[in-house]
Chain A
Amino acid sequence: MAERAISVMVVDDHPIWRDGVARDLAERGFDVRATAGDAPSAVRIARAVRPDVVLMDLNLGTGSGVDATREITGELAGTRVLVLSASGEHNDVLEAVKAGAFGYLVKSASAEELDDAVTRTATGDAVFTAGLAGLVLGEYRRMAAGPADPATPQLTDRETDVLRLVAKGLTARQIADRLVLSHRTVENHVQSTLRKLQLHNRVELARYAIEHGLDADPPQ
């Protein structure tokens, strides 16, 4: 680990789970700055403590994890959101990723996987599960099947190849071997698929806001 411990904030509405994860991360040397049990306090606390990584559950009692993700990633440049959610909340996960989350991990992931995912998120690598890759692939194809619009982001052939292999469970290393690419290039392709999706989402939101006269102030 680097000279400074990675600072983390855990957002989950279940105290058992939230405190358990916070303790696990602290034991593994992360600097757990704060925890939050709902979306509004998550945004408020994140502003105050500015953690490197926010572990975000999407299934929050009050407010939506997707909106909290959008606000945190929009406001705090140094903070990245990693969605840690029950598997299968498909559209939520996709929405959170489009709103700016840097990756997604299922709650059934092991402690090592969580450790690795938080570290990677802090260093700016996208954290993809096979499930997320399947969702992102599906989203690009859905957009491509829609009305033709030059603003619609598209995957390059290489990016499609990479995402399909991620969705089939191959690690970045295995993908690099199979496609004869460097490990770094594979990571860049994966990140690029996310970034295009997020950029498009921001443009769409702005366009929607202008068309509907909502561009004055963000809702509180």
Chain B
Amino acid sequence: MIRQPGRAVRKDALKPLWRASVLLRVITLLFAAGVVAAHSGQYADDALAWVAVGVMAVWTVVTSYYYLGRARVALWFTVVDLALCCAVMCLSRLVLTHRQLTVDDVPLIPTVWVTAVVAVGAVRSGMVGGTVFGAVVAAFNYGVRGYVDTDLTRDLVLLVGVGFVVGLASSTSKQSAERLAMAMRAEAATAERERLARTIHDSVLQVLARVRKRGRELGGEAAELAELAGRQEVALRALVAAAPLESNGSGQADLRPRLQVLATDRYQVSVPGTPVTVPESAATELAYLVREALENVDRHAGPTARAWVLLEDLGQEVVVSVRDDGVGIPAGRLAAAEEQGRLGVARSIRGRVAELGGTVTLETAPAQGTEWEIRLPYPGRSCG
């Protein structure tokens, strides 16, 4: 079974950042307590200052448990965190004397402790979260002091800057974790596919090939069985050989595997050795058109008709040809069918190719088979 490591990886990617934000809160708490101790005795309300430090200590413990224990941090909790931090800042108005607030520049009670909540906003919600939290804390900083000056504006720049930078780090690690998860999934799928292919190649295919060969030589009923085995062999080989049908995430897809799976014992598919990338929608549509053309061979070209699909990458142009060696279409029959308004294969293929911005030509003659050639232009694209 293929594991789905995506969620686990994304969750783990932010763990170090959460740990750092908790550590920052603990260290800044100690710093804040030190500042309060240093100014103890000079405050308007010493007791309230220590109550505030107590609240900060309790809240530091609560948030540490929450942020380190949760797989997914809720937005509301970070907002509550922000509100509490701002509330403690507001308490400073009651604790500090007016002179301390305005002239002496004594730090507010939480001091740098509030930067931890900016980091929380940034880790939780990326650049936007970090910047907003930083701006809110800076706004309260102005509000509590009640004036604007260079020092407070420096704080604003620092707070918003920290929020932005930590947020960027958070978004980046989330993205790279997602990419890693995608790569791991793709790798697991490829490994599984290769294992299957090897197993099938080593066992089933060898036996089928032998049955087909020997049965054909024995003739009679054995030859019929050989025919069946041979058909399965070719289909299985094509399936095993085709690359995975995944698009690469950027809306582009390799056209080759989508055509290769159409190969059977009567239909051969030839492709280049390097990927032929086209927009996802065009790949799906082209594969559909080729399938349609092959079904048409099945219906009209005769029971023993064979067909060849050729995919060519000319850089600015992708060309798909479908040729069969069947009975062909009498001159004018196709045009006649079109004029009668019947939705024949020609109409349908032509219409769909036109929608893709391409052109289609059809060559046919009685007993000469038919050959479709679909050309899709991709200006500015390069081969391979």
User: Which secondary structure dominates chain B's binding surface?
Assistant: mixed
Q: Collect the chain A residues with CB atoms within 8 Å of residue B263's CB.
A: 87
A168 with B323, Cβ < 8 A, contacts A14-B202, A134-B271, A135-B273 known: yes
What are the interface flags for B223-241 relative to A under an 8 Å C-beta threshold, 1 for contact and 0 otherwise? 0000000100110011011
Interface residues on A, range: 35 or more
Instruction: Give, as a whole number of angstroms, the nearest-CB distance from B223 to chain A.
Output: 12
Given the complex of chains A and B, what is the CA–CA distance between A43 and B306 in angstroms? 38
Given the complex of chains A and B, what is the CA–CA distance between A139 and B312 in angstroms? 11
Residues A134 and B214 in contact, CB atoms below 8 Å apart: no
Residues B238 and A88 in contact, CB atoms below 8 Å apart: yes
Residues B230 and A108 in contact, CB atoms below 8 Å apart: yes
Instruction: Give, as a whole number of angstroms, the nearest-CB distance from B187 to chain A.
Output: 19
**Which of A66-74, A140-148, A151-159, A182-190 is found at the contact surface with chain B?**
A140-148
State which of B214, B233, B371 has its C-beta within 8 Å of the C-beta of A108: B233
Residues B312 and A141 in contact, CB atoms below 8 Å apart: yes
A169 with B308, Cβ < 8 A, contacts A16-B207, A108-B237 known: yes
Residues B273 and A139 in contact, CB atoms below 8 Å apart: yes
A130 with B237, Cβ < 8 A, contacts A17-B206, A144-B383, A145-B384 known: no
Q: Collect the chain A residues with CB atoms within 8 Å of residue B314's CB.
A: 141
Which of B205, B265, B271, B371 has the most chain A CB within a 10 Å cutoff? B271
State which of A59, A90, A94, A142 has its C-beta within 8 Å of the C-beta of B384: A142
Residues A138 and B271 in contact, CB atoms below 8 Å apart: yes
A107 with B209, Cβ < 8 A, contacts A168-B321, A169-B325 known: yes
Residues of B at the A interface (CB closer than 8 Å) are 201-202, 205-207, 209-210, 212-214, 216-217, 230, 233-234, 237-238, 240-242, 260, 263, 265, 268-274, 306-308, 310-315, 321, 323, 325, 371, 382-384
Q: List 20 A-B contacts (CB under 8 A).
A: A16-B206, A17-B209, A20-B214, A86-B240, A87-B234, A107-B237, A108-B230, A108-B234, A110-B216, A130-B268, A130-B270, A130-B310, A131-B268, A135-B272, A138-B274, A142-B383, A145-B384, A168-B310, A168-B321, A169-B308
Instruction: Give 19 new A-B contacts, CB below 8 A, not counting A111-B213, A138-B271.
Output: A14-B206, A16-B207, A86-B240, A87-B237, A88-B238, A89-B241, A90-B273, A108-B212, A108-B234, A108-B265, A133-B270, A134-B272, A135-B271, A138-B273, A141-B315, A142-B383, A164-B310, A168-B310, A169-B306
